[in-house]
Amino acid sequence: MVARDDELLRRSHVQRLGTATRALNMPRREIPNWMADVIYGFKGKIVWPGGKEFLIHDEAIDRAFNDDGSFRWLSDFMLFGERELRQSPQFRTLHRLRLIDLAFRIAYPDRAAFIAK
């Protein structure tokens, strides 16, 4: 199940998600590949909290990052766990956060449960 918007936009959620992403020890340009492998390789059904199917387009990850092949945003994102966020995450990053969170929910459900606390 994908996370609700209010969960994804909580500072604590974003900080834990950034820390978990950094703990993957992957270069920022490899993280979207990992996300794609996990999400598109998942054989189960992905649903919204209300039970409606979550449909994901084959270009969703690239679009979420505005087709920026450098994925520079991920470098800053992975530092969020090391510093206090001064503001709540911006709504425009919601789809990025949702896809990163979804990849963790599929690949590392125990870690994802901690992130969502």
What tokens appear for 58 in the block? 């084959």
Using CA atoms, how far apart are residues 100 and 23, in angstroms rounded to an integer?
A: 13
DSSP state of 55: -
Pair 111, 20: CB distance under 8 Å: yes
Using a cut of 0.75, tell me whether the model's pTM lies above it.
yes
What tokens appear for 53 in the block? 């199917």
Q: Mean pLDDT score of the chain, rounded to an integer?
A: 91
What's the confidence (pLDDT) of residue 103?
A: 98
Beta bridge partners of 47: 53
- CA neighbours closer than 13 Å in the CB half-sphere of residue 69: 0
What's the confidence (pLDDT) of residue 85?
A: 65
Instruction: Report, as ranges of residue numbers, the positions in the chain whose pLDDT lies below 50.
Output: none
